[in-house]
Amino acid sequence: TPSKEGKMFIKALFDYDPNEDKAIPCKEAGLSFKKGDILQIMSQDDATWWQATHEGDANPRAGLIPSRHFQERRLALRRPEILVQPLKVSNRKSSGFRRSFRLSRKDKKTNKSMYECKKSDQYDTADVPTYEEVTPYRRQTNEKYRLVVLVGPVGVGLNELKRKLLISDTQHYGVTVPHTTRARRSQESDGVEYIFISKHLFETDVQNNKFIEYGEYKNNYYGTSIDSVRSVLAKNKVCLLDVQPHTVKHLRTLEFKPYVIFIKPPSIERLRETRKNAKIISSRDDQGAAKPFTEDDFQEMIKSAQIMESQYGHLFDKIIVNDDLTVAFNELKTTFDKLETETHWVPVSWLH
Ligand code: 5GP
């Protein structure tokens, strides 16, 4: 259904090159696009081939693109290759919190990696990503900031980037305060490092879906609540959140309108060069032991990034390669600046 102005826009969730499409009746008539591009639909009269233009194109030429139905059907046929095979990740102690923490009890027993335990999520995303109908979102005047979700594999430098952003403008950026059931340490205060709550309350909150993510570590629960995101936004700050990509779908609502940035590792050669003397910090806020990167860490990082990208790539609004930290940080900064001025496209499904 076209929007009010009679225009219909879609966000492409896959890359398309008509030259490589054996099915297209005429390659010259095709419109190529990249994942994330916003397209305007000009005609849906044909069940197999829609006509579309690139949104904002000064001299738009309508071209053929596969219809949703057609693309879904052929993608589904190819699904066995698309479906990522579970990744074998070593379970060394040093591989740290982020991974082991998020294992469900069952997976701990079988000693499998988080990717394996996320099997059910793979089927969740099995509704093959093709297009998402979007609409330009007109921000309310008092609504300036939003949630920015950073995702990326362990060791890619996500925490460093987040910290650099935070200290670059503490008035502008905020982070959530996690909940924990462990006892407060003497130098800590409630609501600063953590919100300290009882195990009973934590479990009730879990039941009531109050957490975006949570896990268990040394017999205590830790988690990030949805309300903690709300309280950062209520302070009129951009809320920076780093979570596992599978949690992103729960945040994709009109209330949060998350902008999702994937921090991607460079090539393994560049990892070896640039991280030679660096240390991997496995926990999300530096409390874990830092150890020098091993070759295994690099390989895991690359594999894990590939899995994230193939499973959740359609949810990423922006991909930033963290080769050189300063360059990546500047790119991140530019992205944030643009966020405040550029048209913000939201799925129409958020408006209902
Ligand atoms: P500590 O008890 O030493 O403060 O933290 C123990 C571990 O809990 C750390 O590795 C820390 O990164 C982790 N942690 C802190 N907050 C959260 C959270 O909101 N969610 C998850 N999953 N882990 C957290």
Please report the atom of ligand 1 found closest to the CA of residue 220.
Answer: 2
pLDDT score of 56: 86
* Mean pLDDT, residues 185-205 taken together: 97
pLDDT score of 127: 66
* Mean pLDDT, residues 10-18 taken together: 96
Q: Which residues line ligand 1 (CB under 6 A)?
A: 97, 101, 178, 182, 213, 215, 217, 222-224, 283-285, 287-288
pLDDT score of 157: 94
* Interface confidence: ipTM more than 0.85: yes
pLDDT score of 94: 35
pLDDT score of 58: 85
pLDDT score of 302: 97
**pLDDT higher for 79 or 338?**
338
3-state SS, the chain, equals CCCCCCCEEEEECCCECHHHCCCCCCHHHECCECCCCEEEEEECCCCCEEEEEECCCCCCCCEEEECHHHHHHHHHHCHHHHCCCCCCCCCCHHHCHHHHHCCCHHHHHHCCCHHHHCHHHHHHCCCCCCEEEEEEECCCCCCCCCEEEEECCCCCCHHHHHHHHHHHCCCCEEECCCEECCCCCCCCCECCCEEECCHHHHHHHHHCCCEEEEEEECCEEEEEEHHHHHHHHHCCCEEEEECCHHHHHHHCCCCCCCEEEEEECCCHHHHHHHCCCCEEECCCCCCCCEEECCHHHHHHHHHHHHHHHHHHHHHCCEEEECCCHHHHHHHHHHHHHHHCCCCEEEEHHHHC
Rounded to the nearest whole angstrom, what is the distance from the C-alpha of residue 100 to the centroid of ligand 1? 12
pLDDT digits (tens, 9 = 90+) for 276-318: 888 887 654 445 678 899 999 999 999 999 999 999 999 999 9
Task: Give residue 88's pLDDT band: very low, low, confident or very high (50, 70, 90).
Answer: very low
* Mean pLDDT, residues 328-335 taken together: 97
Please report the atom of ligand 1 found closest to the CA of residue 101.
Answer: 22
Rounded to the nearest whole angstrom, what is the distance from the C-alpha of residue 96 to the centroid of ligand 1? 11
* Mean pLDDT, residues 78-97 taken together: 44
